[in-house]
Amino acid sequence: MKAVQEPENIYAVVTGASQGLGKAFASELAEQGFNLVLVSLPGQQLQDLSLKLANLHGIKTAYYETDLAVSKNVIDLGKWINENFQVFMLINNAGTGGSGKFANASVEYLQSVLQLNVMATSILTHELLPNLSARKQSYILNVSSMAAFTPTGFKTVYPASKSFVHSFSRGLYEELKHSNVFVSVVNPGAMKTSEDIVARIEKQGILGRITLLEPSKVARKCIRQLFRRDTVIMVNPISWLVLKLIPIWIKLPLMTNAIKRELA
């Protein structure tokens, strides 16, 4: 399902825009007066959000509902954006994950995590790069995670996928640093996106609680630091420092036990 308006000026593209951090990114950019192309799964009231932000902030908005866990949908989205909009910013926020025994995970679940977190981020960036390069200055912000810095039992595939996002972003930054496309990556912890998530994270104990963040504050800091050309954005530097200082032989069982408490 699509909504197209005639392009005027330039647009920021936000994936996973209907809720959580993606919605916070959309709201922050709208507040700053930027036109938006919002992307999310069908059935998440994306049209309502698009119209609300347009009316509230006097900006132009468009929306596109699709499942980015399907490769063809990513290609189709990139084509639609390139044919209709001049893009100066891409925020690859859409992602998925979960906790549980690896042996009990379905193949479909594993494929969806890798497709959405790894392939969709890479392919959409690739498809929109010529569009972004046509602007005088443009930005790519990829959303990784604090999980990128430590492997964790019962959450095996998600941290690995976010490690890819972090590494991909750093490499792409280096490749494009002399161009007009600036690349950054943010590594947030868990966020207060719903009561269920807050309750689940708090079960992890102190390690979970110190990384629990407000999406609006994360989005505000990310956009500010992106425009300041911060290549790696750490919204919770204390928890990042703790993870960096603790050796892996301590960190790995510590994080794994925290996730086991979440599953209890």
Domain ranges of the chain: 2-263
Contacts of 19 (CB under 8 A, 6+ apart): 40, 44, 193
Catalytic residue among 11, 158, 221, 251: 158
Dihedral angle computed from the Cα positions of residues 64, 97, 248 and 246, in that order, rounded to the nearest 10 degrees: 70
- The tokens of 67 are what? 């499942």
CB atoms < 10 A from the CB of 249, how many? 8
Section 26-50 average pLDDT: 97
The sheet carrying 181-186 orders its strands as: 2-3, 61-65, 35-40, 11-15, 87-92, 138-143, 181-186, 232-233
Catalytic residue among 23, 60, 155, 162: 162
Instruction: Write down the pLDDT at residue 205.
Output: 53
| Of the candidates 222, 232, 233, the residue with the CA atom closest to the CA atom of residue 89 | 222
**CATH level 3 topology of 2-263:** Rossmann fold (3.40.50)
The partner residues of 138 in beta bridges, in order of sequence, read 181
Q: Is 64 helix (H, G, I), strand (E, B) or coil?
A: strand
Q: To the nearest whole percent, how much of the chain has pLDDT over 70?
A: 88
CB atoms < 10 A from the CB of 54, how many? 17
Whether 158 is catalytic: yes
Instruction: Write down the pLDDT at residue 203.
Output: 52
Q: Is the pLDDT of residue 6 over 90?
A: no
Q: Is 263 helix (H, G, I), strand (E, B) or coil?
A: helix
Instruction: Write down the pLDDT at residue 4.
Output: 43
Q: Is the pLDDT of residue 214 over 90?
A: no
List Cα–Cα distances, 86 to 11, 151, 181, 229, in angstroms: 6, 39, 14, 21
